Chains A and B, each alone.
Chain A
């Protein structure tokens, strides 16, 4: 028997495959038994009730997609009374993704959402900081540190910081999150993008720009996972374009202790259980006894530090 478990700080997952926030809901239980997943990660929730963005909220680009769903939210009360109870039928750890527009608001929702049934909180700091210049908190080490310190003071649950690829300071942001008390990093969210219909000359998304996800994002997310894993001691969870078991293994080798699957579930709703099964088959076939043997096993001995952490193409 091979060991599929993976450790994320105090949490042990039975396997390293979990959904990405915003691409998963109880609706998927109509397709397969959600109990097979390593963890459940919910759509980002805000304290207040929010509408979403204008439609069209999605468009495709070659081999990938853009979305501008925004964070429509029925508010935290609805979340606590309706969403959390659904997941109590599973033993799978429930990870709740939260967002807010200021450090204090982050702390409030973090405290209020720290209820029984929640195993960890994913702090989506890829949203705009409206108290400053509207740039995402996770674009800078200073705003990342500020939010993560506030949430650290508000909850004893494991806190995962979800980073953005829209930064030129990946390692600095990762280190700031760790120093502020994050228990793990999720790397990463979508990349700000755009598409225009050349016939109407209108942007293809109702809100002009949106986030790129799917296979085109993968090499970028993989690079960030690698850099983060090299610069922090806390576990890194890989996310971005992971579409099959080979992609998942590549992220584990780059340094991820677990992976999140988003867009691929839209294309193949069974992809997560398939990946778990294929990962087990891969380990058996290659005589690898545990997932942890793969994590961070990249053969980069010859690379210089300056190369590992660079933020420019060679």
Chain B
């Protein structure tokens, strides 16, 4: 496997933008009941990432789990200076179960960085981020970039209960104003979220909106965006095979210029224009 690492390095040319490399697990621990936080030791040249991009992971096979295709995973953090690549994931099936069995020092082959991430236009000073559950993971690097660019960030995080609210402290540490809503407290209803967002819009605190994952949130933000002319972006998921744009299995429909177009989540996405996105 070490030989494989050297091989990859010699075959990846200087002008490659997508890399296949062996990484090593630094830690892989539960973040809370449902989610796990994995930190990989990755060469810094593969960590030239944009917020919203993802990696395609070759999950290990064991007696119990034999995943075949790679699994896409959003970048939860990337730190070239420390050679660190972070993921936050939930065990959904055999691939993620196999990932959860990796221990410190084990290797993991990753391909990336992949896809088209979030944009932060110069005139977007006040950013609103709305996410549910692990969806927030895709948005942590966005919060970090917003901080770097000196933008004001408000994050509304929705989850089942307070104890599965992810990354709230992380977002607060990045200077975000974090509002949490939960099913348990009955605060995560669409009506309540609409009220909170409309208040922020009225106060001039929303130049753009970002979200991911939830159909309900997409509808809500599309309505608010259309009513007030506020642009937005959404990160979407789809089953993938190649992850780099070759197979066309990951397409989703989008509304554009009165027609329906199909775009690849792995290539044109995973981040798309919010108004063009279609519910599912």
A interface vs B, CB < 8 Å?
22-25, 27-28, 30-33, 43, 51-52, 55-65, 67, 69, 72, 214, 263, 265-270, 273-274, 277
A62, B64: Cα distance in complex, Å: 12
A305, B240: Cα distance in complex, Å: 44
Contact between chains at B12 and A27 (CB < 8 Å): no
Taking the nearest CB of chain B, how far is it from the CB of A17, in angstroms? 13
Contact of A58 among B12, B67, B241, B267 (CB under 8 A): B241
Contact between chains at A24 and B69 (CB < 8 Å): no
A27, B239: Cα distance in complex, Å: 18
Within 8 A of A (CB), among B6-33: 7-8, 11-13, 16-20
Contact of A31 among B19, B68, B238 (CB under 8 A): B19
Contact between chains at B239 and A57 (CB < 8 Å): yes
Contact between chains at A267 and B244 (CB < 8 Å): no
A residues near B247, Cβ cutoff 8 Å: 22-23, 58, 67, 69, 266
B residues near A28, Cβ cutoff 8 Å: 244, 246
A123, B267: Cα distance in complex, Å: 28
A173, B241: Cα distance in complex, Å: 31
Contact between chains at B20 and A270 (CB < 8 Å): yes
B interface vs A, CB < 8 Å?
7-8, 11-13, 16-20, 58, 66-70, 109, 111, 238-252, 262, 267
Taking the nearest CB of chain A, how far is it from the CB of B77, in angstroms? 23
A277, B6: Cα distance in complex, Å: 13
- Give the nearest-CB partner of B264 in chain A: A27
A244, B69: Cα distance in complex, Å: 16
Contact between chains at A25 and B246 (CB < 8 Å): yes
9 contacts between A and B (CB under 8 A): A24-B246, A57-B249, A58-B247, A61-B68, A62-B68, A266-B242, A268-B58, A273-B11, A277-B11
A residues near B244, Cβ cutoff 8 Å: 27-28, 30-31, 269
A274, B267: Cα distance in complex, Å: 24
Closest 6 CB pairs of A and B: A27-B245, A58-B249, A57-B249, A60-B68, A30-B18, A266-B242
- Give the nearest-CB partner of B13 in chain A: A33
Contact between chains at B69 and A69 (CB < 8 Å): no
B residues near A51, Cβ cutoff 8 Å: 262
Contact between chains at B242 and A265 (CB < 8 Å): yes
Taking the nearest CB of chain B, how far is it from the CB of A313, in angstroms? 26
Contact between chains at A30 and B16 (CB < 8 Å): yes
Taking the nearest CB of chain A, how far is it from the CB of B179, in angstroms? 34
- Give the nearest-CB partner of A57 in chain B: B249
Given contacts A269-B244, A270-B12, contact A55 B252 (CB under 8 A): yes
Among A30, A51, A265, chain B packs the most CB atoms within 10 A around the CB of A30
Given contacts A72-B262, A266-B247, contact A55 B20 (CB under 8 A): no
Taking the nearest CB of chain A, how far is it from the CB of B148, in angstroms? 25
B residues near A52, Cβ cutoff 8 Å: 248, 251, 262
B residues near A61, Cβ cutoff 8 Å: 68
Contact between chains at A269 and B248 (CB < 8 Å): no
Contact between chains at A55 and B246 (CB < 8 Å): no
A209, B250: Cα distance in complex, Å: 17
- Give the nearest-CB partner of A72 in chain B: B248
- Give the nearest-CB partner of B19 in chain A: A31
A65, B241: Cα distance in complex, Å: 9
Taking the nearest CB of chain B, how far is it from the CB of A137, in angstroms? 23
